[in-house]
Chains A and B, each alone.
Chain A
Amino acid sequence: MVFSSLLFVFVFLAAAISVYHIMPGIKLKNAWLILTSLVFYAWGGGLYILLLVFCVAVNYLCGNLIIKYRDKKAAKVFLVLSVMICLSLLAVYKYSGLFIATFEDLTSIKTGLTAPMLPIGISFYTFQAMSYTVDVYRGDVKERPTFWQFLMFVSMFPQLIAGPIVRYTDIIDRVADRRVTLIAFSQGLRRFLTGLAKKVLIADYSYTLVSTLLGDGKNLVFTSLLGGMVYYTFYIYFDFSGYSDMAIGMGKMLGFDFPDNFNYPYISDSITEFWRRWHMTLSTFFRDYVYIPLGGNRCGKWRQVFNLLVVWGLTGFWHGASWNFLIWGLYYFLVLVLEKFVWGKLLAKIPEVFRHIYTLLLVFFGWILFYFDDFSALGNAICVLFGAAGAPLSEPAHVTLMLNNLPFFVLAVVCCLPIVPTLKERVMRASVKHPSLNVLQALFTIIYNIIVLFACTAALVGSSYSPFLYFRF
């Protein structure tokens, strides 16, 4: 099931949240949450739900065994075992297709093997499960969950399919005791609606422009490539962050405080800052579970560079089973190393506007590496970008299309800016002196909720099925 569907919003979510709040006591609430989450996951079909339960069971068991044999060698064995099992699941179910295809291409041998289908959410729930066993090993998990609590943590429908990557330690104090205040529920609802709006009112429309402007990537024209990639830049942000907003909003309505995942990344003035604002739970995951264990920046410059290489290679590769994602990750490795060791100080000295332009240009180029997962198409795109392909400069229909869509472009740019948080902060400070501002804020919430709900419902009816970009993750 996708979040941006009428069935999900008007039937599933409505029922899930209403019944949840009717359920007396935390045990029944948790049970209902597990039940609805499993139905949600199984909705996509297939028996992949068994894979999910298997992954949960293995990690839970290993967690218990780590606790049992704490301070003994066996603990480490069980840690390694659980991590290896999770990574093998990923290798088989996510990457085997790529490995088979690459092997066949390089050796010209037809293996006749076919890769299994990619189970939804596997990149997320394996990481969540692994983070638990590592945290248990490190002694960060103060109170061990029951199996059902652990299952609930991994399978919770708000964040199961596409994040944010929530760690057990993030929600440990809410597992057995959750209260949802009125304000929290209202905030969660508004966040959910905002995420839905981002996805359905902005991301989906951006994507139609992307597919028209870029087509099949074969007859690219310079201005269409630029325009298409600009809208792709919008698309991937609004799609991904919209989804995260929905997840966080739903979590809040159920009493959970999930970590934020996106913090207006396009206002960054360096790539270093960009990665502190983009997909934050992923970069902190790699930082805490790969970078720091490898030594971080505490073992000398060259080791640090090596650690960064590993982390960014993995970050890129995690995004999809295709080599261009690895290249995308390594591209950022290169830029980050350059920022850290070569031109970071210089960068801080140039005027702010140029820092923003620099960042956006680099991010834009990165998305070109990310979008074209076929090497020949990618090569062609880069040639067109630098004017080497002898392609015409522009396609009149596309230019007209882009000019027609200036209002949408302006809307998308405005929504990339942190207008709402800035306003909120000011209102909060001012409302100490003027309590009536609280009333205004509440009134605004009412109007906002109704308008957004209406517009999103209309858009959902107007479209059909709209899967998220990262179902391939």
Chain B
Amino acid sequence: MTKFAKALYVVSIVLVALSVLSFGIYSFLDKDVQKSETENRNLASFPEFSVEALLSGKFTAELEEYYSDQFPFRDFFISADKIRETAYACVKVGEDDLVVLEGGNNVGGGAGENLLSSIVASSDETSSSLDNASDNTVSSTTSVPNSSTVNTTVSKAPTASANTTLKNQDGVKNGLVLLKGTRAMELYGNNFSAFEKYANTINRLKAAMPDKTVYNMLIPTSVEFYSPDAYHVPKNKNQKIGINYAYGKLQNVLAINAYDSLYAHKDEYTYFRTDHHWTGLGAYYAYCEFAKIAGLVPADKQNLTYGKINGFVGSLSRYVGSNILKNNPDYLEYYMPSTVCDATVYSNASMTGGIKVSVIASRVSSSNKYLAFLSGDHAMIRVTTSADTDRSIVVIKDSFGNAFIPWLCNNYKTIYVVDPRRVTMNLPQFVNEHGINEVLCVNYTFVPTNPSYMNGFNNLLK
């Protein structure tokens, strides 16, 4: 072999050695990054040492995680890797340009997300270790709502290449996301026994409050209306069948059919394309159906002050490797209630030490513009309005309820908004204490299979 060829082999070794050594050394010198914007979570910090942790292997495992999380140019490498993964799966199927993506466990799972700084999720809520996508904001400043910088703590955002643990290790189902053109949708499957348990929980609540009116509204998601037939028509995937099944199990509870109206208006902007939520407009059509059952006159949205927040790239974009959703963002439309509203957020049911929020925020600093509604999920919110009525209602909800509440502000004097993942309370007691006559459980169809929500929901009777 010629000297030149040999020299080139030296180069091939030296280049690798230099890259590895320089990155290795630099990785010790560079400062730790606290959070990752692309992953929307806090990055691991140096683990606590103890002889116990060392012997059990916990310390070294955390050290590895810490090293990976704090590797230099992390975001750059992640983007590069996403390009590779997108290339692996770049064949789009059919005239709808369908792509199926790994979606992690439960996009809207965990304990919800909010914009507020000093409200911390109550300690007995199930932690983010349950689901992969837990959006829980905690920051150390006590800033005024709507202008705080959000410091979201989300446990590991699932990436397609993550978690290649041994098979059958934790039996956790990988949710799938369907990308059709510029719309992303979480794929859905019916779990009838979960619906039955959900209905039973509401039945038990009603039985403990026999003289109160209890409503239930289950909301379908976008995959029901916008995916090809094969993805939502079969019995095991059809949300109409699931919702009707749950409603069939209710006893003495008023079931609200939001489905048909949402179906009729599906060509309007009723669901986000980049986020798993419905829009304020979708919530409006459900509100009109609720009004029919509750004996209310629904506000006419033509008469309300309209607003729009642009540049909303929602929760589902983190599962899509390409930039298609980022390049085609959503916008959030809102309609200010006709009444004067006074909303206060509390971290407990006794409603001590609250923080004022807007029912709808006209500007949201977070990338999650859906937080405009009620500033997100909180343990307890009390809204008092200038509505000309004595009616009050307590709404037990997940984040889908947030877009719905502002509509109720047109018709109720007092609205209590409860997120069972974050609050501990006895609902029948609470309802009696505060002289409330109406209870609404509003959830989207993925909730009955969300353990963190169902645990909290079942605990409302304790």
- List A residues at the B interface (Cβ < 8 Å): 1, 5-7, 9-11, 13-15, 18, 43-47, 182-183, 185-186, 189-190, 193, 201, 203-205, 207-208, 210-212, 214-217, 371, 373-374, 396-398, 400-401, 403-408, 411, 435, 438-439, 441-443, 445-446, 449-450, 453-455, 457-467, 469, 471-472
Contacts and interface: CB of A to CB of B under 8 A. Distances in A.
Contacts of B178: 397, 400
B450 to A, nearest CB: 18
Nearest to A206: B164
Nearest to A371: B167
Contact of B11 (A216, A217, A446, A458): A446
A46 B13 contact: no
Contacts of A463: 159, 161-164
Contacts of B55: 45-47
Rank and list the top 9 A-B pairs by shortest CB-CB distance, nearest first: A45-B57, A442-B8, A462-B81, A461-B77, A408-B88, A396-B230, A438-B5, A401-B100, A10-B24
B107 to A, nearest CB: 16
B258 to A, nearest CB: 25
5 contacts: A11-B24, A400-B93, A401-B100, A404-B93, A453-B19
Interface string B100-127: 1010000000000000000000000000
B78 A462 contact: yes
Interface string B1-13: 1101110111111
Contacts of B54: 45
Contacts of B1: 183, 435, 438
Interface stretch (B67-75, B367-375, B381-389, B417-425): B67-75
Contacts of B65: 464-465
B99 A404 contact: yes
Contacts of A1: 60, 64
A181 to B, nearest CB: 10
B305 interface: no
Contacts of A9: 20
B47 to A, nearest CB: 12
B80 interface: yes
**What does DSSP make chain B's interface, helix, strand, loop or mixed?**
helix
A450 B74 CA distance: 18
A254 to B, nearest CB: 14
Given A45-B54, A404-B91, A407-B88, A442 B9 contact: yes
A7 B67 contact: yes
Given A407-B91, A439-B2, A464 B166 contact: no
B9, B56, B89, B162: most-surrounded residue (chain A CB, <10 A): B9
B100 to A, nearest CB: 4
Interface stretch (B168-176, B210-218, B345-353, B402-410): B168-176
Contacts of A201: 84
Nearest to A185: B13
B98 A400 contact: yes
Contact of B174 (A46, A212, A457): A212
Given A43-B60, A205-B85, A458-B81, A189 B161 contact: no
Given A406-B91, A407-B89, A439 B64 contact: no
A47 B57 CA distance: 10
Nearest to B175: A212
Given A45-B57, A435-B1, A458-B80, 4 more contacts: A11-B24, A15-B24, A400-B99, A463-B159
A214 B171 CA distance: 11
A462 B159 contact: yes
Given A45-B60, A463-B164, A443 B8 contact: yes
B197 interface: no
Contact of A44 (B21, B60, B228): B60
Nearest to A204: B164
A364 to B, nearest CB: 17
B297 interface: no
Given A442-B12, A461-B78, A397 B231 contact: yes
B20 A211 contact: no
B301 interface: no
B264 interface: no
A438 B161 CA distance: 37
A211 B167 contact: yes
Contact of B173 (A189, A190, A215, A398): A215
Nearest to A466: B164
B68 A212 contact: no
Contacts of B168: 216-217, 373-374
Contacts of A212: 102, 174, 176
A215 B167 CA distance: 9
B176 A6 contact: no
Question: Most chain-B Cβ atoms within 10 A of its Cβ — which of A9, A371, A439?
Answer: A439
Contacts of B27: 10-11
Contacts of A183: 1, 6, 9
A201 B84 CA distance: 9
A445 B168 CA distance: 39
Contacts of A469: 166
B74 A461 contact: yes
Contacts of B174: 211-212, 215
Contacts of A45: 54-61
B64 A465 contact: yes
A225 to B, nearest CB: 14
B100 A411 contact: no
A463 B156 CA distance: 10
A34 B23 CA distance: 26
A15 B28 CA distance: 13
A10 B67 CA distance: 10
Contact of B16 (A43, A371, A453): A453
A401 B85 CA distance: 13
B77 A458 contact: yes
A471 B57 CA distance: 15
Contacts of A7: 63-64, 67-68
B8 A446 contact: yes
A458 B82 CA distance: 9
B33 interface: no
B267 to A, nearest CB: 23
Nearest to B4: A439
A196 to B, nearest CB: 11
Interface string B280-294: 000000000000000
A44 B57 contact: yes
A404 B89 contact: yes
Nearest to A217: B168
